[in-house]
Amino acid sequence: MSSSRLQLIDSETERTTAATDALVALLALHCAWQLRRQRQRDPWKVDLWSATFAALASAGALGALAHGFTMSPRTNARLWRPLNLLLGLTVALFVVGAIRDYAGPAAGQRALRPALGVGLLFFLITQVVPGSFTVFIVYEALAMLTALALYSRLALNGKLEGAQLMVAAILISIIAAGVQASPISARLIWEFDHNGLFHLIQMAGLPLLVRGLKAGLQAASPVVIG
């Protein structure tokens, strides 16, 4: 009688990718929890960034399953469908957050639906274009460069507390994306391929991102509701 229990994949680099995916998920959830404690400062902004971190955490959890366990190619492909959707939405929400900080709450709210539409379009492209990894790298790069330009402007004119930390976090994210797009690998006790290294670098940027967001929120006056 065959066992139906999940089994870890044999590849060491796939296991380290899965482990770092799981760590990204946990760290993203912690980031969301930290922001929720500042919700009275700006409920819409905190809800937006909480959703961003929640989408990233969900993608990380699915990535841990897709990379870390043996399964049929068909099952693996099914996991990547919601995973790609979550990645597309994470990037879209990130850009909305940058637009909100740069141009104000009304601009952020106006940008939400179009940005989510772009995220959905990315997902649909992944369903019809084989080997959509390059598509994601281009999509992510354009989004991060847009966010970098907006937060750099805010950092230079001093209009947003914590903007410098946001710039640093985005630069780390761009470096991480460059590593992911390369064939690089490294042994850091265990063997990591480009995906595992991408996750490790990405985790270095998330705390900076939260610190920047919290600095901006704490410098703002609480929003009175009711």
Q: What residues have CB less than 8 Å from 28, skipping those under 6 apart?
A: 53, 54, 56, 57, 60, 206
DSSP summary character for residue 185 = -
Q: What is the pLDDT along the chain (226 residues), one digit of tens a residue?
A: 344 567 889 899 999 999 999 999 999 999 999 999 999 999 999 999 999 999 999 999 999 999 999 999 899 989 999 999 999 999 999 999 999 999 999 999 999 999 999 999 988 988 887 666 778 888 999 999 999 999 999 999 998 999 999 999 999 999 999 998 888 889 989 999 999 999 999 999 999 999 999 999 998 766 544 4
In a domain, 3, yes or no: no
Q: Are 52 and 67 in contact (CB under 8 A)?
A: no
> Considering the entire predicted model, what is its pTM?
0.91
In a domain, 7, yes or no: no
Q: Are 24 and 56 in contact (CB under 8 A)?
A: yes
**Residues of the domain holding 45:** 12-218
In a domain, 167, yes or no: yes
In a domain, 152, yes or no: yes
Tens of pLDDT, residues 54-96: 999 999 999 999 999 999 989 998 999 999 999 999 999 999 9
In a domain, 5, yes or no: no
Q: Structural domain tally of the chain?
A: 1
In a domain, 153, yes or no: yes
In a domain, 81, yes or no: yes
> Strand 186-188 and strand 190-192: pairing?
antiparallel
Q: Are 199 and 143 in contact (CB under 8 A)?
A: no
Tokens of 11: 């590849």
In a domain, 212, yes or no: yes
Q: Is the torsion defined by CA of 128, 130, 136, 138 positive or negative?
A: negative
